[in-house]
Amino acid sequence: MRHFPDPDPGRPSRLSPGHYLLWLARTQLAVVLLGAFYGVIWPTAQALMPYAVGRAIDDGLTARDRGDLLVWAGVVLALGVVQAATGILQDRCALTNALGARYRTLQLVTRQATRLGATLPRKTSAGEVMSVGVADVMQIGRALDVSSRTIGSVASIVVVAAIMLATSWRLGLVVLVGVPLMVWAVALLLRPLHDRQARLRDQQAELTAHAVDIVGGLRVLRGIGGEELFGRRYHAESQRVRHAGVHVARAEAALEAARMLLPGLLVALIVFLGARQVLAGDLTGGQLVAFYGYAVFLATPVRRLSIGASAIMKAYVAARRVVALLALEPEIAPGGPALSGTEDARDLADPESGLAVGGGRFTAVACTDPAEAAALADRLGRYAESDVTYGGMPLRSADVEDVRRRILVAGNEARVFAGPLRAELAAAGPADDARVLAALEVASAGDVLEALPDGLDTVVSSGGKEFSGGQLQRLRLARAVLAEPDVLVLVEPTSAVDAHTEARIAARLAAARAGRTTVVFATSPILLDHADAVALVDGGTVVATGTHASLLDDPRYRALVAREEGAA
């Protein structure tokens, strides 16, 4: 059995649903072919059973030949052993194919999400990514799972048809004509099913996205009393999805009825015609038993063909969404040289706003409009293309990964992932407990740690649901401080804490980041007072610079800070 996942999932050469499914099959071609081989042997052995039983009846029982009876009984036993062995091996290959396709697709989706970075939430929703990584991955794996069985079904139908043609061309012709007609009839039902499944899949993705948004903003909704309104909207949307699901179920019910009815009709027709040929003396009793076995047997491969076609149809719908996600391109192209300098403090400048951040200094930026703070932070971290320079080198021409290593932008939307708190805080790499505790001390989060049952080993839930808004904010700050980037850009890092805690954080942050570049976007006078320099941004442009004390003479700055003091 193979070990999953593979170290490198590879890269699809062409991004279209059909080519993606074929690429998945090619990447594990050896297992697919081996599964197809077992998939041919297993049903073929089963298909030959009626022939062996018929010969045992004619040559052994009817002719009263014990030797022939034992021979054909041995053949039946051998066919049973072969069928059992190849059935087990086929299932192993089918499971390997399914797991390989699922893991590979999930790896590609995860790698693409990492590659897109900040572009991902701008291009698609978290619900869509989650739906692709769960539902669509399963459907694609299902298609690879049934591939060997589908190939085996085709082979077994051909074998049975050849045997029947050799014994009775009329009955063989019925099979050769009847099976394609059944497949054609099932295909007619697959088309509306495909369309309905595509619509259902789109609506499910939208509903999942809305559910993720509601859960993520539940605290805000409770604060403004919007729970009931959004609950009604979700209920209405879920009803539309339910109706779409009912439409899919109707099509699937019709398809399942056809899968059961059509092979049954073929069995009845073959038995009827075979009985007439026995009465006419054209067939022996043993051959009639064999033909009945063939007819009953054919119901299984025909049904598997329709199941395989349905699975491939669903996988095509799923692959279309996977391909759409993989086709997204980051807004900021990777590549370029590394930033000049190493650990030396470098000046950071934004010509668009006129902001100049001295290397190795603690700079505060007070923006009259919060949207301006977010836009400026994005430019400084190169989450938006601009003319920002670091050490005189334009960020737009530098390697994105190198920029991310050197310049860390931490805002209040940064996510807390599930797992041990120690690993969650040391996201940039393993860190000893002393460093982790020091970062928590800077963020004044020691009380948060003390309240946890297992300390740093406590497993926190996704999104940090067990923490309050202020506790989450301090944990995010501790994680950012622990990363020790060359440039740390913080956006309103203390907006959810009280004034005494904020004062401790401001003093400790300034001391911990001494000699390294720190930029804090805030309007709190407590933070502003600890900064080496303060820049006032109004209308997207720096209109004043100085210390907090000197800028209090500016009426614009004083009005902004006084409003903050009043809010506190």
pLDDT tens per residue, range 109-150: 888 888 887 778 778 776 677 778 778 888 898 888 888 888
CA-closest candidate to residue 74, choices 62, 59, 89, 87: 59
Q: Which region among 58-62, 112-116, 385-389, 539-543 has the lowest average model confidence (pLDDT)?
A: 58-62
Predicted confidence at residue 567, as pLDDT, reads 46
Distance CA 219, CA 222 (A): 5
Predicted confidence at residue 510, as pLDDT, reads 93
Helix (H) or strand (E) holding 491: strand 487-491
Instruction: Give yes or no for residue 182 having a pLDDT over 60.
Output: yes
Q: Which region among 53-62, 145-154, 266-275, 340-349 has the lowest average model confidence (pLDDT)?
A: 340-349
Q: Taking a C-beta distance cutoff of 8 angstroms, is the pair 477, 465 a contact?
A: no
- Average pLDDT of the segment spanning 336-340: 68
Instruction: Give yes or no for residue 354 having a pLDDT over 90.
Output: yes
Predicted confidence at residue 216, as pLDDT, reads 60
Most confident of 59-73, 251-265, 380-394, 518-532: 518-532
% of the chain beyond a pLDDT of 70: 91
Q: Taking a C-beta distance cutoff of 8 angstroms, is the pair 440, 479 a contact?
A: no
Q: Which two tokens stand for residue 79?
A: 């066919």
CA-closest candidate to residue 137, choices 18, 16, 24: 24
Residue 392 pLDDT class (50, 70, 90 cuts): confident
Predicted confidence at residue 568, as pLDDT, reads 45
> Which amino acid does the sequence have at 328?
L
- Average pLDDT of the segment spanning 69-96: 88
C-alpha separations of 436 from 262, 416, 489, 509 in Å: 68, 16, 20, 14
> Which amino acid does the sequence have at 126?
A
Instruction: Give yes or no for residue 82 having a pLDDT over 80.
Output: yes
Predicted confidence at residue 224, as pLDDT, reads 61
DSSP state for residue 60 in the 8-state scheme: I
Q: What structural domains and CATH numbers belong to the chain?
A: 17-326 (1.20.1560.10), 348-567 (3.40.50.300)
Rounded to the nearest integer, the mean pLDDT of the chain is 83
Q: Exposure of 383 by Cβ count < 10 A (0-12 exposed, 13-18 middle, 19+ buried)?
A: buried
pLDDT tens per residue, range 516-548: 999 999 999 999 999 999 999 999 999 999 999
Predicted confidence at residue 565, as pLDDT, reads 53
- The more confidently predicted of residues 121 and 345 is 121
Distance CA 365, CA 537 (A): 7
- The more confidently predicted of residues 429 and 82 is 82
Residue 338 CB neighbour total at 10 angstroms? 14
CA-closest candidate to residue 289, choices 487, 50, 513: 50
Strand ranges, E, within 228-310 = none
Instruction: Give yes or no for residue 342 having a pLDDT over 50.
Output: no
Distance CA 520, CA 348 (A): 13
Predicted confidence at residue 225, as pLDDT, reads 59
Q: Which region among 165-174, 313-322, 377-386, 487-496 has the lowest average model confidence (pLDDT)?
A: 165-174
- Average pLDDT of the segment spanning 485-504: 93
Instruction: Give yes or no for residue 307 having a pLDDT over 70.
Output: yes
Predicted confidence at residue 277, as pLDDT, reads 81
- Average pLDDT of the segment spanning 467-493: 93
- Average pLDDT of the segment spanning 414-442: 88
Q: What is the pTM of this model?
A: 0.67
- Provide the terminal-to-terminal Cα distance of the chain, rounded to the nearest Å: 62
Spell out the residues 6+ positions from residue 381 whose beta carbon is closer than 8 angstroms to its own.
Answer: 403, 404, 407, 408, 409, 489
DSSP state for residue 16 in the 8-state scheme: S
Distance CA 486, CA 507 (A): 19
Spell out the residues 6+ positions from residue 160 whose beta carbon is closer than 8 angstroms to its own.
Answer: 47, 175, 294, 297, 298
Q: Which region among 144-158, 294-308, 371-385, 487-501 has the lowest average model confidence (pLDDT)?
A: 294-308
Beta-carbon-side half-sphere exposure of residue 502 (alpha carbons within 13 Å)? 20
